Amino acid sequence: METIIVKDNIEGGKKAFELIKSGMAEGAKVLGLATGSTPVPMYKAMVESDLDFSDMVALNLDEYFGLAADNPQSYHYFMEEQLFSHKPFKETYIPNGLGEEKSECARYDQVIVDHPIDIQILGIGTNAHIGFNEPGTSFDTTTRKVALTESTIESNKRNFDTVEEVPRYAYSMGIQSILSAKKIILMAFGEEKAEAIKKTLEGPVTEEVPASVLQQHGNVILIVDEAAAKLI
């Protein structure tokens, strides 16, 4: 895994943006996108650039179950605010948090088949989850409804008024779907990610550490700040 150590998340976001830009110049048409605080500086760099995304397709990793697209806590809302309302894309896809489980998962898997991902952006949970694929997730998974772990609910409560409001379930692309991307850019910033990054890079490949599966993908770039790189 190629590792790029940056000063902070701003520099990391710019670096990720540069990689997207050169990927697009080489013909990338489908971007796999992520939510959370990690990719925010990258979205800012995209918005501030003069790059045109109107020929691009974007596919998001996940959405909270039970939240409508216009709910300010939803990942739909986040993506509109951070990127799509500023930079129009040809098509954007995000799982529908209100969709019926079976049909929604099937629909989203078809979206991924129809739009093979050229560049997948990933953040990482403190427990090394990717998307909402929590520890213990089979590496064979495609889109499904997942139960969030207590540690993820705890971390994500900062975006809600109370912990009770954090949804307990989400729709998430599976590990297999993530691995189908041609290129993956994983970003991690801050000391709280250091342990997860160490296990991801140096630990055994195990379903207990979802991101460790990235060791088996031949084209992953890791962008970390010094704090997240502290243990590697």
What are the residue numbers of the active site?
A: 62, 127, 129, 134
61 binds ligand GLP per the rule CB under 6 A: yes
CB within 8 A of 81, min separation 6: which ones? none
Query: Is-contact 208 136, C-beta < 8 A?
Result: yes
Question: Considering only residues 18, 22, 37, 113, which one is a binding residue for ligand GLP as defined by CB under 6 A?
Answer: 37
Positions in 170-229 near ligand GLP (CB under 6 A): none
Segment contacting ligand GLP by CB under 6 A, of 20-28, 34-42, 78-86, 196-204: 34-42
Question: Considering only residues 6, 13, 31, 35, which one is a binding residue for ligand GLP as defined by CB under 6 A?
Answer: 35
Both structure tokens of 7: 């000063």
Identity of residue 64: Y
Q: How far is the CB of 38 from ligand GLP (least distance, A)?
A: 3
Q: How far is the CB of 131 from ligand GLP (least distance, A)?
A: 5
Considering CB under 6 A, how many residues would be counted as binding ligand GLP?
14
Tokens 């013909």 -> residue: 27
DSSP run (H or E) holding 7: none
38 binds ligand GLP per the rule CB under 6 A: yes
Both structure tokens of 25: 């110049």
Q: How far is the CB of 109 from ligand GLP (least distance, A)?
A: 18
Both structure tokens of 32: 């796999």
Q: 104-121: string of b/e by CB count within 10 Å (b at 16+)? A: bbeebbebbeebebbbbb
Give residues in contact with ligand GLP (CB under 6 A).
Answer: 34-38, 61-62, 123-125, 131-132, 152, 156
